[in-house]
Amino acid sequence: MARAMNIQSQLDRRRRQLGLSCAALAAQTGLGLRTVQRVLSGEETNPGITTLQSIATCLGVSLRIEQESADAVRRRQARHKSRQLAAIVQGSSALEAQALSAAAVRKLEDRMVKDLLAGSARRLWAK
């Protein structure tokens, strides 16, 4: 939602730069005036992609979806999950007065990342 709000504020800023009223923008896009006003003000928190695209096209703005490689996303997820699991292990060990050193925790996390990436996707993405 934060990104959508950023897109909406950028579109509104562009509209103002062009000196275009919301009414004129609505007429050019074929959208209702109130829809355009809600989208650009951020009142519409989840606008449809076609609505955003119509407004962006009219304003001469391109909406690009940038994509990380699937491998990078899996590595990030594995690192995130390994940190969560290591924190659980560290917490349990600390309760037993056997907390791991920072170096041991990093080593554990690195091993878990490798295991998660080598294992099933289900295990990687499970909560």
Task: Specify the CATH architecture of the domain 2-59.
Answer: Orthogonal Bundle (1.10)
* Residue limits of CATH 1.10.260 in the chain: 2-59
Q: Is residue 81 within 8 Å of residue 111, measured between CB atoms?
A: no
Q: What is the pLDDT of residue 5?
A: 59
Q: What is the 3-state secondary structure (H, E, C) of 88-102?
A: HHHHHHHHCCCCCCH
**pTM metric for this prediction:** 0.55
Residue among 100, 70, 69, 68 nearest 85 (CA): 100
Distance (Å, rounded) from C-alpha 12 to C-alpha 14? Answer: 5
Distance (Å, rounded) from C-alpha 95 to C-alpha 89? Answer: 10
Which residue type, as a one-letter code, is found at position 83?
A: R
Show the CA angle centred on residue 55, arms to residues 67 and 19, nearest 5°: 125
Q: Is residue 83 within 8 Å of residue 111, measured between CB atoms?
A: no
* Coil, strand or helix at 113: helix
Q: How many residues does the chain have?
A: 127
Query: Tens digit of pLDDT per residue, the chain (127 long)?
Result: 445 558 999 999 999 999 999 999 999 999 999 999 999 999 988 899 999 999 999 999 998 877 889 999 999 999 999 999 888 888 887 667 777 788 988 999 999 999 999 998 888 888 7
Residue 32's H or E segment, with its range, is: none
